[in-house]
Amino acid sequence: MSFHGLIAIRRVAASLACAGMLGLLSAGALRAEVALAPQVDAGTLPALGGTWRAANPYRDSPAAELALPLGRAAYNQACARCHGADAGTNAAPAPDLRKLNRSCRRIDDSDLKAWCLRDNDAYFAKTVRQGKVIVGITHMPAWEALLAQELAWAIQLFIESQALKY
Ligand code: HEC
């Protein structure tokens, strides 16, 4: 059983227990999964337009320094309630996002590492845009309509900066 499988089962069980207690069907249990747009102005970041980039455009760029504090603020407003404050715990209900690029970080070959990070970026962007709905239960809401890609990539940089501390 994978880590994510276990999380999924735990969340399904929690949703069912919650629905049972409230005497409601899953609609009651799912109310907490609504996405709330972070109130962070991304206007100082280089604008990226409406078409999502395949890879994080701020990584290793001069904009990274600017993106980090904005990413931190947006993360704590939008993601922390499930993934943990400052992406600094493995004890939150949702997966520890610092682990996402761990296997890439361990690769020595620079070309292979770059491929791995690009793949990881694609997975991050797809997951954030679409959310995670598994057997009809919203584990994570979709962020596409609420989160400009500038902020999404800034959030990812912040998470990665936390990962480097461990
Ligand atoms: C309502 C709770 C909730 C919120 C808010 C939330 N997530 Fe999630 N997220 C989850 C859950 C639960 C999963 C695991 C879903 C699964 O695979 O079962 C997840 C999975 C992910 C994954 C994939 C992780 C992996 O290991 O595969 C990424 C990336 C992610 N979330 C990013 C974000 C970002 C960025 C934000 C803020 C913009 C956010 N999430 C906000 C609950 C949430």
Query: How far, in Å, are 8, 43, 49, 54 from residue 144 at the CA level?
Result: 22, 18, 13, 15
In the reported structure, the alpha carbon of residue 97 is separated from the centroid of ligand 1 by a whole-number distance in angstroms of 8
pLDDT tens-digit series, residues 45-96: 999 998 999 999 999 999 999 999 999 999 999 999 999 999 999 899 999 9
Amino acid at 79: C
Q: Whose CA is nearest to atom 36 of ligand 1?
A: 79
In the reported structure, the alpha carbon of residue 36 is separated from the centroid of ligand 1 by a whole-number distance in angstroms of 13
pTM score, whole prediction = 0.84
In the reported structure, the alpha carbon of residue 2 is separated from the centroid of ligand 1 by a whole-number distance in angstroms of 16
In the reported structure, the alpha carbon of residue 75 is separated from the centroid of ligand 1 by a whole-number distance in angstroms of 11
3-state secondary structure 62-114: CCHHHHHHHHHHHHHHHCHHHHCHHHCCCCCCCCCHHHCCHHHHCCCCHHHHH
Helix (H, G, I), strand (E, B) or coil at 129: helix
pLDDT tens-digit series, residues 70-81: 999 999 999 999
Pocket of ligand 1 (CB under 6 A): 4, 7-8, 11, 33, 78-79, 81-83, 94-95, 97, 100, 124, 127-128, 132, 134, 139-140, 143, 147, 155
**Fold exhibited by the domain 34-163:** Cytochrome Bc1 Complex; Chain D, domain 2 (1.10.760)
